[in-house]
Amino acid sequence: MNREASIKRETAETKIALTLHLDGTGKSMIDSGIGFFDHMLNLMTAHGLLDLELRCDGDLEVDGHHSVEDIGIALGDAFKEAIGDKKGICRYGTFYLPMDEALAFVTLDISGRPFLVYDGGEMAPMVGGFDTELVEEFLRAFAVHAGITLHVKILYGTNTHHKIEAIFKALGHALRIAVSNDPKVTGVPSTKGML
Ligand SMILES: [Mn+2]
């Protein structure tokens, strides 16, 4: 089974085209229009061993909000399509990731029940041209559209670049674990028989 999906999404605010492979090697070609966000998506795909091609032409003359949120939506839609019937997957993924002085915790469930719990703590308002409030907007859009339960917490740290980087790397690792195949799981990993 080829676990991949391509999404084209166009609104008055953003035009997005992306292709996601869940069983990749961590290759990416990403142009979101926001340098710091490209850096974060690159890290997520590299650490998640996903392959991601993504281009977004968004209304950055307004700010980065529409682009970041809509990329979350499109990436979530692609994930949901690519994961398919969820047979044989580990389903849960949990990871602690240190980045120098910062520590991020991410745990997720490919549950079909979209939910985000986010506690990023205090952050500087901007990193480069990226508004740090958009971390939560991206994660919520991704979790809702992917159909996953996602909990993200920064336990401690001081540098905002490090904190956000730790979140995206941890998310990559948690996804990598959750989507991987467990040879002992033959069907859908739920007592209900579906996710
Ligand atoms: Mn960095």
**Residue 104 C-alpha to ligand 1 middle, in angstroms?**
14
Note the pLDDT of residue 193.
86
Please enumerate in sequence order all residues whose Cβ is within 8 A of that of 75, keeping only pairs 6 or more positions apart, or say none.
7, 18, 20, 52, 54, 142, 145, 146
* 11 CA distance to ligand 1 middle (Å): 30
Span from the CA of 126 to the centroid of ligand 1 (angstroms)? 14
Confidence of residue 194 (pLDDT cuts 50, 70, 90): confident
Contacts 24+ apart (CB under 8 A), 188-191: 188/85, 188/86, 188/87, 189/86, 189/88, 189/89, 189/90, 189/91, 190/91
8 A C-beta contact, residue 99 and residue 183: no
- pLDDT higher than 80, residue 178: yes
Q: Which amino acid is at 1?
A: M
Beta carbons of 14 and 74 less than 8 angstroms apart: no
Say which residues have a Cβ less than 8 Å from residue 131's Cβ, sequence separation at least 6: 63, 64, 65, 125
For residue 36, the CA-to-ligand 1 centroid distance in Å is 8
Instruction: Give CA–CA dist 70/161, Å, rounded.
Output: 22
CATH-assigned architecture of domain 4-179: 2-Layer Sandwich (3.30)
For the chain, which residues make up each domain, given as ranges? Answer: 4-179
Give the pLDDT confidence of 57-114 residue by residue, as tens digits: 999 999 999 999 999 999 999 999 999 999 999 999 999 999 999 999 999 999 999 9
Query: How high is the pLDDT of residue 12?
Result: 97
Task: Read off the pLDDT of residues 125-141 as tens digits, 9 standing for 90 and up.
Answer: 999 999 999 999 999 99
Round the average pLDDT of the chain to a whole number and report it.
97
Q: Which of 102, 105, 75 is nearest to 93 (CA)?
A: 105
Ligand 1 centroid, distance to 165 Cα (angstroms): 6
Strands 115-119 and 149-156: parallel
pTM exceeding 0.75: yes
